[in-house]
Chain A
Amino acid sequence: EAGVAQSPRYKIIEKRQSVAFWCNPISGHATLYWYQQILGQGPKLLIQFQNNGVVDDSQLPKDRFSAERLKGVDSTLKIQPAKLEDSAVYLCASSLRKLAGTDTQYFGPGTRLTVL
């Protein structure tokens, strides 16, 4: 079974530019998450989708970050304009969203963003 796919793996941009990240979850996984991991810290949830609807975006800086999940499969996270403090690894995860149980989140390899 293929895992969570993300692209690009690395991205370097100048501040105030825009950037977009793509994620393809594990087949059949209804729930998709985007996390931001700043160097030296644990991941922080940015947004959660259930199918193509947003469940939680309370920690998403909405003045510059946006995300969508059209057709309930692939997702795109965009930053516009980028700031220096956006330098981080952006991790995408997906889960089956069972009614009960462990409901493990499986992570992709991440996109490392450097803002200069």
Chain B
Amino acid sequence: AQKITQTQPGMFVQEKEAVTLDCTYDTSDPSYGLFWYKQPSSGEMIFLIYQGSYDQQNATEGRYSLNFQKARKSANLVISASQLGDSAMYFCAMREGLEYSGGGADGLTFGKGTHLIIQP
């Protein structure tokens, strides 16, 4: 089963509108973290926002916010007032097991991404 599911392969949005990118996840670990990354055409992955499974409030970073619904296992990214420079691939990722003891494996599991295009 997919651990991270992003159901929107592509989205077209008008500039200045708000955008919601969907992400659902699957884990039985009570302790996990959810990340969103942006990947422009240049290829590098840019960290946007993080939500921990025990966080009581939704994470926010500037124009980015994360709509975290733990019972539904969803972690949607909301971009307010979209800009042309927001056009890129967006990836949702999960790390299971936040408690470190001696350095365990903590690689990220990524979804397939959503290609967001902002139109003027």
A residues adjacent to B (C-beta < 8 A) = 31, 33, 35, 40-45, 48, 50, 55-56, 58, 89, 91, 93, 97-100, 102-110, 112
Contact = CB atoms under 8 A, between A and B. Distances in A.
B47 A106 contact: yes
Contacts of A104: 35, 47, 50
B42 interface: yes
Interface in B79-118: 91, 93, 95, 98-100, 103-113
Contact of A107 (B45, B95, B113): B45
Interface of B: 4, 33, 35, 37, 42-47, 50, 52, 91, 93, 95, 98-100, 103-113
A45 B107 contact: yes
Nearest to A45: B107
B93 A110 contact: no
18 contacts: A31-B103, A31-B106, A40-B112, A42-B91, A42-B113, A45-B108, A55-B103, A56-B107, A58-B105, A91-B45, A98-B100, A105-B47, A105-B108, A106-B47, A107-B45, A107-B46, A109-B43, A110-B43
Contacts of A44: 110
Q: Which of A41, A42, A89, A97 has the most CB of B within 10 A?
A: A42
B11 to A, nearest CB: 16
A102 B93 CA distance: 13
Contacts of B50: 102, 104
Given A42-B4, A42-B111, A110-B44, A55 B104 contact: yes
A55 B110 contact: no
